[in-house]
């Protein structure tokens, strides 16, 4: 039988505030890349988010032993609000009408680049963990 988590109310507040900050960050980045017309803004947040979520979960938490609520606020809140798969899919579908090859390339860049950066985040986290053992 699965054990139920004892969810603390402040965890939900941390996720809510983090989501607002992440969403605002995503909007700011999209403005820097000429909105969704180019797919570059969505790609930038998804690639950065792929690295940051893995790094936060497996790096910062292992080295700093973050409280659960803070980890949820950063990961689920900030990074979850910052990245978005649904926006990527919408941009690819709408971009495919005018430039199908470019839209397909951007989709592959997001998927493969996101996977590569998630591996990179994990690798950096493992290096941090190894360094912590030396202290």
Indicate whether 124 belongs to any domain.
yes
Tens-place pLDDT, residues 65-75: 888 899 999 99
Which string of DSSP letters, residue by residue, matches 89-110? HHHHHHHHHH-HHHHHHHHHHH
Residues in the annotated binding site: 80, 83
The model's confidence at residue 4, banded by pLDDT at 50, 70 and 90, is low
For the chain, first and last CA: distance in Å?
Answer: 39
The domain in which residue 70 lies consists of 10-129
Give how many domains the chain has, as a whole number.
1
Indicate whether 69 belongs to any domain.
yes
Across the chain, what does the average pLDDT equal?
86
The pTM of the full predicted model, rounded to 2 decimals, is 0.78
Residues in the annotated binding site for Na(+): 80, 83
Tens-place pLDDT, residues 45-63: 999 999 999 898 888 877 7
């Amino acid at each position: 039988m699965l054990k139920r988590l004892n969810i603390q109310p402040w965890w939900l507040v941390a996720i809510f505030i983090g989501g607002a900050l992440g969403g605002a960050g995503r909007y700011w980045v999209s403005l820097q890349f000429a909105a969704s017309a180019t797919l570059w803004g969505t790609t930038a947040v998804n690639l950065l988010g792929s690295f940051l979520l893995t790094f936060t979960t497996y790096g910062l938490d292992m080295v700093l032993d973050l409280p659960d609520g803070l980890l949820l606020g950063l990961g689920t809140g900030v990074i979850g609000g910052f990245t978005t798969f649904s926006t990527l899919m919408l941009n690819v579908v709408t971009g495919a009408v005018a430039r199908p090859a470019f839209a397909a390339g951007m989709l592959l860049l997001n998927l493969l680049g996101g996977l590569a950066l998630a591996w990179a985040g994990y690798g950096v986290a493992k290096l941090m963990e190894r360094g912590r053992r030396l202290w």
